[in-house]
């Protein structure tokens, strides 16, 4: 339990301040692990655990005899990865309390772990709020971060004690004044999201020339504005977007004070990626916060990271359900064909209408690797990856729609056929949650959980 308690936020029953030495030890261990390229002393690595789980499942399925759906797509989720991301967050943004964006992946085990770690939750709908409250989370740990809310949902949160919510326009203020005047409001401001994968500011955010009027209206309506929020766009790549947004938020804090509001919290939203850009992003944000909202002002800083926490934790395995051979023209003209001269269209049992919805909605480019071919499971080996001079494949989803294509062209050494398996890493963000049942395919696939961190296992009660 030791390792786990060290990472718990002050929301949790065990106070972080009582564990500062353990926290430091854990961070030191984390840095050592990073320097050693991972490796979790005494536990199998993330790759070993995921590889074993994938192998066990796919080797248990015989596509010639299995029942319908036995060969369905499935995920393997390493909750240790979510835990490490939390540690990395604490290391880089110690002043910023994360409120995980549930929309990104409402997986119950992910939420359970994050709840144990003491994060808050950013929810966008009644169902998300219900799910989080259903875990026994204190309503004070939830922000209803949707500037344009459904009336009945506002009444729902009012009766369930969820007070924090965002707004960005005058109509919404009047709605809240009517339905929930005691709400704690965050004024969401517009950002420069031009460097992000998914732009949000076309839809949400008050421009700086409207914020004064909005604060004035909130004051006249007798509402309680407690802070400012922003989102620099999901999958942001320009750290300076955070600097500008923090500066703008500071300006709006001053406007709020002039209107008589005692603003106490800045919400810096999401947009963080899990790759190496995180450290750059966090560095710029940290400095901006220290300049505009220094610790001595006592302003609380929260954030709404989604993708950052889960993207790299989920791997998906998909079955090859059909193959179409595109013969080499020379072979058609009578020459002897070898498989290397042909190319193939392969059809797998998941696609753009399923867990690969991230290609459409989240501008992602999932990369296929070979999990099982020719009777051998080859996860994590060099042979699993693409090669420049291998056999060419295009990879298609199972629906009747022509846009349902995952990969236009990729080359593998392996000759893939029906019953073989592919896997795709980094499939945790905006995948399962936006899958549909189009053409009657399932949108609810198994998740096999593994855990490469002892601390996370302790928190999950797996020890
Ligand atoms: C209001 C809000 N907060 C947080 C997020 C999570 O963003 P990300 O996954 O980029 O961290 C989103 C994503 O759309 C959002 O709209």
Q: What is the pLDDT of residues 225-268, one digit of tens each?
A: 999 999 999 888 899 999 999 999 999 999 999 999 999 999 99
pLDDT of residue 141: 98
Tell me the pairing of strands 421-424 and 368-373: antiparallel
Ligand 1 centroid from CA 101, angstroms: 6
Residue identifier of the C-alpha nearest atom 14 of ligand 1? 234
pLDDT over threshold 60, residue 183: yes
Ligand 1 centroid from CA 271, angstroms: 6
Ligand 1 centroid from CA 36, angstroms: 32
Ligand 1 centroid from CA 434, angstroms: 14
Q: What is the pLDDT of residues 260-305, one digit of tens each?
A: 999 999 999 999 999 999 999 999 999 999 999 999 999 999 999 9
The per-residue DSSP string of 408-424 comes to EEEEESS---TT-EEEE
pLDDT of residue 193: 84
What is the Cα–Cα distance from 198 to 205, expressed in whole angstroms?
15
Mean pLDDT of 365-389: 97
Nearest CA among 128, 158, 44, 125 for reference residue 453: 44
Ligand 1 atom at minimal distance to the Cα of residue 146: 1
Question: For the range 135-139, what are the long-range contacts, defined as Cβ-Cβ under 8 Å and sequence gap of 24 or more?
Answer: 135/111, 138/11, 139/163
Ligand 1 atom at minimal distance to the Cα of residue 234: 10
DSSP bridge partners of 97 = 302
Most confident of 30-39, 163-172, 194-203: 163-172
pLDDT of residue 32: 61
Which residues participate in catalysis according to the annotation? Answer: 400
User: E-assigned strands of 367-445?
Assistant: 368-373, 376-377, 391-396, 405-412, 421-424
What is the Cα–Cα distance from 399 to 380, expressed in whole angstroms?
29
Q: How confident is the model at residue 188 (pLDDT cuts 50, 70, 90)?
A: very high
pLDDT of residue 21: 42
Answer yes or no: is the C-beta of 144 below 6 A from any ligand 1 atom: no
Ligand 1 atom at minimal distance to the Cα of residue 233: 10
Residue 137 and residue 121 in contact, taking contact as beta carbons nearer than 8 Å: yes
pLDDT of residue 176: 98
Ligand 1 atom at minimal distance to the Cα of residue 196: 10
Mean pLDDT of 52-72: 94
Answer yes or no: is the C-beta of 310 below 6 A from any ligand 1 atom: no
Structure token pair of residue 176:
């809240």
Question: Which residues are within 8 A (CB) of 336 and not within 5 positions of it... i.e. 6 or more apart?
Answer: none
Q: How confident is the model at residue 14 (pLDDT cuts 50, 70, 90)?
A: very low
pLDDT of residue 333: 55
Least confident of 121-130, 135-144, 208-217, 329-338: 329-338
Residue identifier of the C-alpha nearest atom 12 of ligand 1? 270
Angle made by CA atoms 338, 340, 415, in degrees to the nearest 5:
100
Answer yes or no: is the C-beta of 289 below 6 A from any ligand 1 atom: no
CA distances from 182 to 152, 154, 177, 278, 299 (A): 16, 11, 8, 36, 21
Ligand 1 centroid from CA 275, angstroms: 17
SS3 57: helix
pLDDT of residue 37: 46
For residue 29, how many other CB atoms are within 10 A of its CB?
Answer: 16
Structure token pair of residue 342:
């042909």
Mean pLDDT of 18-29: 48
Ligand 1 atom at minimal distance to the Cα of residue 271: 10
Q: How confident is the model at residue 15 (pLDDT cuts 50, 70, 90)?
A: very low
Answer yes or no: is the C-beta of 302 below 6 A from any ligand 1 atom: no
Q: What is the pLDDT of residues 152-173, one digit of tens each?
A: 999 999 999 999 999 999 999 9
Answer yes or no: is the C-beta of 120 below 6 A from any ligand 1 atom: no
Nearest CA among 110, 223, 95, 94 for reference residue 166: 223
For residue 170, how many other CB atoms are within 10 A of its CB?
Answer: 15
More confident residue, 138 or 238: 138
Ligand 1 centroid from CA 49, angstroms: 29
Burial, 298: exposed, middle or buried (Cβ in 10 Å; 0-12, 13-18, 19+)? Answer: exposed
Write down the mean pLDDT value for the chain: 91
pLDDT over threshold 70, residue 370: yes
CA distances from 99 to 114, 145, 177 (A): 9, 10, 25
Ligand 1 centroid from CA 330, angstroms: 52
Answer yes or no: is the C-beta of 272 below 6 A from any ligand 1 atom: yes
What is the Cα–Cα distance from 446 to 456, expressed in whole angstroms?
21
Mean pLDDT of 30-57: 77
Least confident of 61-65, 163-167, 411-415: 61-65
pLDDT over threshold 80, residue 131: yes
Answer yes or no: is the C-beta of 165 below 6 A from any ligand 1 atom: no
What does DSSP assign to residue 362? S
Ligand 1 centroid from CA 306, angstroms: 6
Answer yes or no: is the C-beta of 307 below 6 A from any ligand 1 atom: yes
pLDDT of residue 403: 96
pLDDT of residue 416: 97
Least confident of 38-42, 257-261, 325-329, 438-442: 38-42
User: E-assigned strands of 190-255?
Assistant: 224-229
What is the Cα–Cα distance from 186 to 188, expressed in whole angstroms?
6
Ligand 1 centroid from CA 183, angstroms: 21
Ligand 1 atom at minimal distance to the Cα of residue 147: 1
| Neighbouring C-alpha atoms within 13 Å toward the C-beta of 412 | 27
Structure token pair of residue 346:
């392969």
Task: Give the CA dihedral 404, 410, 412, 416, nearest 10 degrees.
Answer: 20
Among left, alpha and beta (phi > 0; psi -120 to 50; other), residue 426 is: left
Report how far apart the first and last C-alpha atoms of the chain are (Å, whole number).
Answer: 9
The per-residue DSSP string of 146-186 comes to -SS--HHHHHHHHHHT--EEEE-SHHHHHHHHHH-TT-EEE
Q: How confident is the model at residue 19 (pLDDT cuts 50, 70, 90)?
A: very low
Ligand 1 atom at minimal distance to the Cα of residue 188: 1
More confident residue, 99 or 7: 99
Pick from 231, 313, 430 the residue to mutate for probing ligand 1's pocket: most ligand atoms within 8 Å of its CB.
231
pLDDT of residue 8: 61
Answer yes or no: is the C-beta of 104 below 6 A from any ligand 1 atom: yes
Answer yes or no: is the C-beta of 304 below 6 A from any ligand 1 atom: yes
Answer yes or no: is the C-beta of 231 below 6 A from any ligand 1 atom: yes
Answer yes or no: is the C-beta of 122 below 6 A from any ligand 1 atom: yes
């Amino acid at each position: 339990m030791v390792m786990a308690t060290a990472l718990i936020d002050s929301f949790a029953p065990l106070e972080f301040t009582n564990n500062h030495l353990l926290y430091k030890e854990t961070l030191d261990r984390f840095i050592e692990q990073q320097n050693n390229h991972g490796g979790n002393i005494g536990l199998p690595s993330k790759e070993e655990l995921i590889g074993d789980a994938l192998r066990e499942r796919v080797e248990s399925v015989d596509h010639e005899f299995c029942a319908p759906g036995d060969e369905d797509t499935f995920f393997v989720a390493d909750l240790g990865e979510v835990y490490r991301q939390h540690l990395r967050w604490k290391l880089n943004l110690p002043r910023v309390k994360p409120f995980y964006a549930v929309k990104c992946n409402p997986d119950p085990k992910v939420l359970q772990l994050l709840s144990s770690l003491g994060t808050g939750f950013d929810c966008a709908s009644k169902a998300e709020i219900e799910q989080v409250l259903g875990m026994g989370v204190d309503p004070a740990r939830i922000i209803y971060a949707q500037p344009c809310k459904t009336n009945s949902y506002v009444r729902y949160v009012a009766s369930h004690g969820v007070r924090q919510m965002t707004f960005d326009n005058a109509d919404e203020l009047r709605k809240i004044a009517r339905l929930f005047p005691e709400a704690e409001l965050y004024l969401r401001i517009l950002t420069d999201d031009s460097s992000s994968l998914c732009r949000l500011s076309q839809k949400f955010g008050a421009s700086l020339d409207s914020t004064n009027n909005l604060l004035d209206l909130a004051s006249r309506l007798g509402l309680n504005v407690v802070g400012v929020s922003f989102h620099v766009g999901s999958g942001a790549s320009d750290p300076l977007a955070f600097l500008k947004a923090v500066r703008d938020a500071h300006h709006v804090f001053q406007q709020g004070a002039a209107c008589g509001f005692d603003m106490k919290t800045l919400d810096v939203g999401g947009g963080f990626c899990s790759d190496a850009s995180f450290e750059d992003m966090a560095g710029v944000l940290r400095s901006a916060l220290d300049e505009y909202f220094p610790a001595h002002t006592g302003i609380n800083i929260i954030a709404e990271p989604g993708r950052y926490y889960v993207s790299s934790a989920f791997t998906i395995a998909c079955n090859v359900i059909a193959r179409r051979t595109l013969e080499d023209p020379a072979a058609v003209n009578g020459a002897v064909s070898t498989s290397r001269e042909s190319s193939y269209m392969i059809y797998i049992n998941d696609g753009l209408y399923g867990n690969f919805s991230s290609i459409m909605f989240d501008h992602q480019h999932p990369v296929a690797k070979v999990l099982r071919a020719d009777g051998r499971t080859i996860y994590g080996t060099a042979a699993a990856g693409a090669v420049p001079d291998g056999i060419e494949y295009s990879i298609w989803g199972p629906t009747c729609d022509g846009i349902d294509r995952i990969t236009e062209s990729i080359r593998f050494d392996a000759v893939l056929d029906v019953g073989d398996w592919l896997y795709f890493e980094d499939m945790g963000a905006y995948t399962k949650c936006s899958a549909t049942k189009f053409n009657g395919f399932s949108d609810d696939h198994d998740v096999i959980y593994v855990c490469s961190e002892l601390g996370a296992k302790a928190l999950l009660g797996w020890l």
